[in-house]
Amino acid sequence: MHPQYALSAPNLRAMNSPSASALPSAPPASSAGDPRGLAKPPAVALALVQRRAGEAVLAVLSGNNADTALARVDTTGFDGATRAALTDLTYGTLRFLGELRGIVRQFVHSKPEPLIEAILWVAIYQLSHGKTGSHVVVSQAVAAVETVNRGAKGFSNAVLRNYLRAPEAALAKAMERDEGMWNHPTWWVERLRNEQPEWWEPILRGGNGHGPLTLRVNRRRATVVQVLDSFAEKKIEAEALSETMIVLKRPRPVERLPGFRDGLFSIQDAGAQLAAPLLHAKDGMRVLDACAAPGGKAAHVLELSDCKLLALDVDAERIKRVGENFARLGLNAETRAADAANAKSWWDDALFDRILLDAPCTGSGVVRRHPDGKWLKRESDVAQLAAQQKRLIDGLWPTLKVGGRLLYATCSVFKLENGLQVDAALARHADMRRIRVTLPGDPASSGGQLLPGGNRKTHNHDGYFYALLEKIAS
């Protein structure tokens, strides 16, 4: 953060964390029309939602992922719609945090209290990207700031009013810096500019977009036509992209979609749906998914073949989710909590025909769905994760039979995790060769790299990398 970025209001006095009652809310509804004689609870004020979104953003910047951050803020009294609004404000602020910080920086002279600063980011996100009236956003944000520090009320009002006088100029000034221009950390922008001179701009733009809600139909239980018909009965607009892939025109909670609980389909990005066909497991094959959680790719493998699959994950809680997903889809496989790289701790010496290594990575290709990832990762994480990927490749390679294939996959766009990682593995293992694969539609796919985003439905997916490695006789 810029060293001069701070609050100038004098003699500010911190207040204790307020309850919802400290903020303005809609008046209680009358009970006259309620047959039970009970009044509906008052609506939660926008000011409280703004404050909670600011708290969640700060929690992300402190090292928590967005889901954890949102789960930890106090949402007492929030109904489903209010929780959805909180999620939207949190994710939207994180998506555009670079420009929002750059804008607020222009109107302050010394560092504000962190929560006041975060509330201002949230408010400017609403003013610049939302549909709520500016007077409502400003008045509610000032009320939210007042609950943090009464002395900052006038200051916050001035920041927001000054922004509204010339929003285009404020944005243009924020965009003079890479973080404000691209809404990614500066190190991230510089790394992509150096590594991907042809594609760095589309990658960054794609990372700031919104991914569609894409489904993979469980071919063992339904067809695309059957799922589309059930959606049409509920007036849910969707279209088929392939014999097993559906995209919804408007995202919605998957649990509310007809057929989800019956295991007719799963959520899976179009790019992730390439893994199982590339692995090409056949009936009777012995298959390993080395880093399986939450189990989407392993489930797809099981939907396509009657193979004998072992799903591993180092996290015992996450491997439980894999089993739960298999059960919902009606699939059977062995699951085990284990460190895949330490084969001695779990391997029975029976060689595998196929191995899927969906390696831990920075997630730099999926930030359009997880914008918190842009601000959670540090540049040093790239090398640390690359070392972990190397350990996994080397630990798993002896468990693959001659003629067998390992599919190395990441959801990253950084070369150290992708092409350079594979080149180094090929240099270390004389019995390894890379098999050329064909990926759909994406302009950068020739090297196994898929760009995030895209306007054509043939490649509107997250950023993935795939390399298919075959063991040959040494």
Catalytic residues, which ones? 411
Angstrom CA distances, 316 to 68, 290, 309, 321, 410, stand at 18, 14, 18, 9, 21
What does the DSSP assignment read for 420-446?
Answer: HHHHHHHHH-TTEEEEP----S-TTGG
List, in sequence order, every residue forming a beta bridge with 311; answer none if it has no partner.
Answer: 289, 335
Residue of 186, 54, 170 lying closest to 112 (CA atoms): 54
How many C-beta atoms surround the C-beta of residue 237 within 10 A? 11
Helix (H) or strand (E) holding 287: strand 286-289
Residue 394, helix vs strand vs coil = helix
Residue 29, helix vs strand vs coil = coil
Written as six digits, the tokens of 425 are 């593995």
Report whether 303 contacts 330 (CB < 8 A): no
Buried b (16+ CB within 10 A) or exposed e, 31-45: eeeeeeeeeeeeebb
Report whether 310 contacts 285 (CB < 8 A): no
Type of residue numbered 405: R
Type of residue numbered 105: R
d(CA 331, CA 299): 7
